[in-house]
Each structure stands twice: as C-alpha cells, then as structure tokens.
Amino acid sequence: MPHCYNRVMPELPEVETVVRDLQPLLVSKCIVSVRVGKHKLRHPWKPRWTKRVTGRKVAALRRRGKWIIIDLDNDSHLLAHLGMTGRFTVEPPEAKTGAHTHLIFTLDSGAQLRFRDVRRFGSVRHCATSTELERELASKLGPEPWELTPDRWLASLKATSRCLKAVLLDQHIVAGVGNIYADEALFAARLAPRQRGRRTSPEQAEQLRLAIVAVLDRAIAARGTTFRDYVGGNGQAGGFQHALAVYGRASEACRECGNEIRLTRLAGRSTHYCPNCQPFRRMQRRRAVS
C-alpha cells in the first residue's frame, strides 16, 4: 500500500504530519534519477535541477509554514508546496503511475517519491544554497506560531485596521495558519473574526496568541483534519475534524452555548463563528464635549 499524503488546502498541521511520516522513508536515501511529467506545474521543474539533485542523499526533512523542505547532503534543498491538491506518495516502482503525476524521484532503496497534483497549483523547486532557501522563505513567511513573541504579535495587530481573520491568514505575520485553524483559534480566544486588529487589547492579543498555539498543537496530535481523502504515511486519516468547534459547522449548534454557528465571508474566505461566544462590539464614537 503506498504511503500517501494529500488534502485540499493543507495547513500547518497537515503539512507537519506529512513531514513526520515522510522522514523515515526519505532520510539517508539517495536520489538516483528524476523523471518529469509532460504538464508543467505552477513553477516548472528545470532540467538543470535534475543534474543537481541526482546522486544526492536526503539529509533531513522539515517544515516551514506550509512548505516542505528536503535538505540534501550538499547544502542544497528541495522546497515543496502542496498547493490545493498536491500529494506526495512513496511507492514501489512497479506501482501504476497515477494521472497528474508531475515528478518521480527514484531512490536507492528502489522506492519512488512521486509528486501528483491535479490542479497544478503546487510546486517543487531546487534551491542551490541555504542562503537562497532562507531568502526565498523570508520573503514569504513570518515567524512560526510557537516563535511569535507577545510584543511582536501585539505590535502587528496594533499596526493594522484589517480584521483579525485577515491578520491570521497573513503568512508574513504568522506562518502556517490557514482558514480552518484561524476560525478555530478565534473561537478558542472568544474573539469576533471581524474585530479590527488595532481595536484588540493586549489581553485579547495574548489570549489569541495562546489559542493559536493550543489549537495547532491539538490538531497536530490528531494528525490534522480530514474532510476528503487526506491520510498520513500509515494510511491513517486525520482526526481533528471530530473536534472542530466552528469550522464546517454552519447552522449547527455551538457546543459551548447552543446558539447557531454562523457563516460569513471575510478576507475573501468562508468564516465560521458563534455570535454568542464571539460577540462583535462596535466601538462607540466619543461625543464632542460642548
């Protein structure tokens, strides 16, 4: 049975699960060849990258935000993003190659690391040096949720008039949080998704920062959220969908207060919240003193 890693719009917990499951299958294995499919990905694989990775051993596998980093033994790296429908599988060479398979890395173990992506929004690229890799990631990502300090987080909130939902989705402010876990963190912090960042008190900011970490920790422990066909390396599906408080539960009763979960659209994304547990209080304008 192939080791399969897939879900639509994977977020930090799902990518972390993929990385942890791939590690024993890839680390210390050597890439002996690369086969490229006919259709190009969003960032096409370049022929010179094949020469650079062939014969290199996988030194480590890690995650940064929603990106997968495969460190090679010559200080170069493969940087992968699953996009919306990207999937990594480690399969025996005799296994049938599925449609929309764009890259096949054959390993010295005989197994193949295959990258399949129906919608082709994902990508796998080569970074020749650690400096190039870090420059690429620094241009896209802020700190990891566990590394986000209270002062930096509060300053980011106070500097914007955007709603809290939009701030959480901004990868430059905090890396890895997506739509599911933004909604769940806001519910855990009892904050309205439409509340503006600059209207957030220091106490609320810290409550939200801790909620982000707590929700992600729980989701990682549950191997992420499965709505479609996402499974980990051992074929086990994620389990956090059973613990979701608001996401995907529009019109259902809130588990805390019994009120109906509402669905709206903020920052261009579907947003789930409980209007009773997460009340939105508009700031009253001060009356001019006569």
Residue 54: alpha-carbon gap to chain centroid: 28
Rounded Cα distance, 219 and 213, in Å: 10
Catalytic residue status for 44: no
User: Which residues lie below 8 Å from residue 79, measured CB to CB, with a gap of 6+?
Assistant: 67, 68, 69, 70, 124, 125, 126, 127, 133, 136, 137
Does residue 101 sit in helix, strand or coil? Answer: strand
Q: 107, 30 in Cβ contact below 8 A?
A: yes
User: Which residues lie below 8 Å from residue 4, measured CB to CB, with a gap of 6+?
Assistant: 87, 88, 89, 231, 233, 235
Active-site entry in 10, 13, 145, 193: 10
How many CB atoms within 10 Å of residue 129? 12
User: Which residues lie below 8 Å from residue 124, measured CB to CB, with a gap of 6+?
Assistant: 41, 45, 78, 79, 80, 103, 115
Active-site entry in 56, 196, 269, 275: 269
Characterize 82-99 residue by residue with b for buried, 16 or more Cβ atoms within 10 angstroms of its Cβ, and e for exposed: bbebbbbbbbeeeeeeee
Rounded Cα distance, 40 and 102, in Å: 7
Active-site entry in 63, 66, 120, 223: 66
Provide the token pair at 253: 């009763």
Active-site entry in 11, 16, 91, 184: 11
Catalytic residue status for 10: yes
Q: 97, 114 in Cβ contact below 8 A?
A: yes
Which stretches of the chain are assigned E, i.e. beta strand? Answer: 3-6, 31-36, 58-64, 67-72, 77-81, 86-91, 101-107, 112-117, 123-127, 262-266, 269-273
Catalytic residue status for 11: yes
**Active-site annotation, residues:** 10-11, 66, 269
